[in-house]
Amino acid sequence: MGLFDAIRGWRGGADEVQRWVVVDVEASGLDAECDRLLAIAAVAVQADAQRPHIALGDSFEVVLRQQEPAARLPDKDNILLHGIGVGAQRAGVEPAQALVAFEHYVGASPLLAFHVGFDRTMIERAFQSVLGRRPAMHWLDVEPVLAMLHPEVKANSLDDWMSHFGIHCLMRHQAAADTLATAELLLRLWPAMRAQGVEPGFGALARLAAQRRWVPG
User: What pTM does this model have?
Assistant: 0.83
Q: Is the dihedral of CA 19, 186, 97, 103 positive or negative?
A: positive
pLDDT given at position 53: 95
CB-hemisphere CA count at 13 Å for 158? 23
Backbone phi, psi, residue 142, to 5°: -75, -30
Q: What would the pLDDT profile of 48-66 be if each residue is shown by its tens digit?
A: 877 899 999 999 999 999 8
pLDDT given at position 78: 53
Q: Which of 207, 3, 12, 21 is nearest to 109 (CA)?
A: 21
- 137 Cβ contact list (under 8 Å, min separation 6): 1, 106, 110, 111
Compute the chain's Rg from CA coordinates: 17
Q: Which of 200, 52, 61, 207 is nearest to 144 (CA)?
A: 207
Extents of the domains making up the chain: 3-212
Element holding 202 (H helix, E strand): helix 202-212
Angstrom distance (rounded) from CA 178 to CA 67: 26
Consecutive 10-residue runs of the chain (217 residues): their mean pLDDT? Answer: 37 61 90 90 90 94 79 50 62 91 96 95 96 95 93 90 88 82 93 86 89 61
Which spans in 43-157 are helix H?
76-82, 86-90, 95-106, 116-131, 142-149
Backbone phi, psi, residue 64, to 5°: -85, 135
pLDDT given at position 15: 42
Instruction: List residues bridging with 42 in a β-sheet.
Output: 23, 60
3-212: CATH topology is Nucleotidyltransferase; domain 5 (3.30.420)
